[in-house]
Amino acid sequence: MWIVGYTFFNLTSAPKAGQPNNAEVWLKNWGLVGEKFHFSMRFDFNFLGYLWHLHFHHWLYLLLSSIFLYLIRHSNIFTLHMTTYWVVQSFCLGGCCQGLKYEDWSHCLTARKADSEGICRGAKETKKTTIKVATVNSCTASPSRKSLYVRLILLLVVTLPPQSTVSSLLFCVPSVPSQQFHKYLARNHRIQTLLEQTPDLTPAESAELLGLQSKPDTYNVTNFTPSHLNFKKYHNEIFSNLTSASSLLFYLDGPTASTTLHLLNTSHPPQNLYTANYSPTTSSHLSTLLPNSYHGPASTVLSTTLSSIPFSGAYLDLCTGQISKILSLLSCLLPRISVGEEFVLGVTITNASPCGKSLCNRVIEMEQFIFKQGWEKVERVFDEGEKWGVEGGWGEDGGVVCLWYVLER
């Protein structure tokens, strides 16, 4: 899309600096706009004893649009599909780079000395000051040389390997680790969906599920940034600190068994730890550490094999934006807790969601569901960090939010 944006604005912009835009000429010839119509805007104003002239080129529009898109990239507009963000952002930056090929690209803001009445002095008496927006030999380079520099930069950008960090930023495509993480989420979501429909699967869907499960576990920590690994470690510590060695705990774990190992290293006996995983290889590995490791979807295991276990806490590290999947697990866990007992609950939710609901609305929906289960006291751990020993809690990283609650009937 970067190339598409560059080509589009190359066709619709002026052939040379100072000439009318092709798009303006077409619209005027078709009678759609008046003769005074211009896409680029010009402003004159007095400031600090100078008469300033601001010329808004199309590349400035696109640069501001690109910055705005970056600021709202996690908003509800793009939660349905982040590909929309990459496409629009790449298109804008392609057009922005196209505007830099003109010789006057650095003369978007100029100033002239003004007299006491704010009127510009005569040409012989004035000393024109040009404010540069870039410093690529701006004092000594001729216009043709500056244009050559821009073309060389664009050529370098085009020849960058797509997996490089610089290329990812310039082309607005996700880096390789980010792409792999999104693939993991998509594959994980598909496996969970098929497992929930197991009795009614068609032969084609059964074959698809078998093929997806034959591959290694989708949870791959090698795709995580160092910051996200520390984020996961931090929340494992919160889980162990909020619970005791006598607590019966249910949680979700991956092939590295990081949560299991942390709980075992903090004096939680293995017989009090319960986990479920739909990956045969991961489930088999976890069973070497715990006697209560089960193969299958967590909702199925909780509603059948573990339906009578009175858990004291749960860490639902689903890494999903679908609140329905979280509510299905809560409906299995919460009703079994007796009156007067506390229950520690940790939940991870992603900013992005296929349902299009904002993160705030999904959290409110989850908390309303908890209240409807008869819990009279719901404490948000990070809201009272000093009380729970997590002051200044680290609740968000890389578009993933982790919330902790202490519930009491």
Give the end of a domain, one of 111, 144, 173.
173
* Gap between the Cα atoms of 215 and 279, Å rounded: 9
* In a domain? residue 219: no
Among 76-80, 242-246, 322-326, 380-384, the minimum mean pLDDT is found in 76-80
User: 146 with 291, same domain?
Assistant: no
- The answer to whether the CB of 306 falls within 8 A of the CB of 294 is yes
For 375, the token pair is 């819990």
What's the mean pLDDT in 157-173? 45
Cα angle value 371/374/379 (rounded, 5°): 50
User: 242 with 138, same domain?
Assistant: no
* Gap between the Cα atoms of 330 and 298, Å rounded: 11
User: 120 with 193, same domain?
Assistant: no
Give the end of a domain, one of 158, 192, 214.
214
Q: Which residue has the higher pLDDT, 47 or 2?
A: 47
> Using CA of residue 354, residue 356, residue 359, residue 362, what is the dihedral sign?
negative
User: 153 with 8, same domain?
Assistant: yes
Query: Is it the case that residue 259 has pLDDT exceeding 80?
Result: yes
Q: What pLDDT is stored for residue 184 in this prediction? A: 65
Q: Which residue has the higher pLDDT, 98 or 295?
A: 295
* Gap between the Cα atoms of 243 and 354, Å rounded: 33
* In a domain? residue 82: yes
Share of the chain above pLDDT 90, in %: 25
Q: What pLDDT is stored for residue 118 in this prediction? A: 45
Q: Which residue has the higher pLDDT, 210 or 378?
A: 378
* DSSP E strand boundaries for 265-324: 273-277, 293-295, 313-320
> Using CA of residue 405, residue 394, residue 266, residue 291, what is the dihedral sign?
positive
Query: Is it the case that residue 264 has pLDDT exceeding 90?
Result: yes
User: 183 with 169, same domain?
Assistant: no
* In a domain? residue 365: yes
For 261, the token pair is 């190992």
Question: What's the CATH number where 300 sits?
Answer: 3.40.50.150
User: 304 with 197, same domain?
Assistant: no
User: 386 with 242, same domain?
Assistant: yes
* Gap between the Cα atoms of 367 and 273, Å rounded: 25
Among 144-158, 178-192, 201-215, 248-262, the minimum mean pLDDT is found in 144-158
User: 166 with 75, same domain?
Assistant: yes
Domain span at residue 195? 178-214
* In a domain? residue 102: yes
User: 186 with 245, same domain?
Assistant: no
User: 6 with 140, same domain?
Assistant: yes
* In a domain? residue 36: yes
Q: What pLDDT is stored for residue 402 in this prediction? A: 93
Query: Is it the case that residue 359 has pLDDT exceeding 90?
Result: no
User: 281 with 334, same domain?
Assistant: yes
User: 344 with 374, same domain?
Assistant: yes
For 356, the token pair is 């299009």
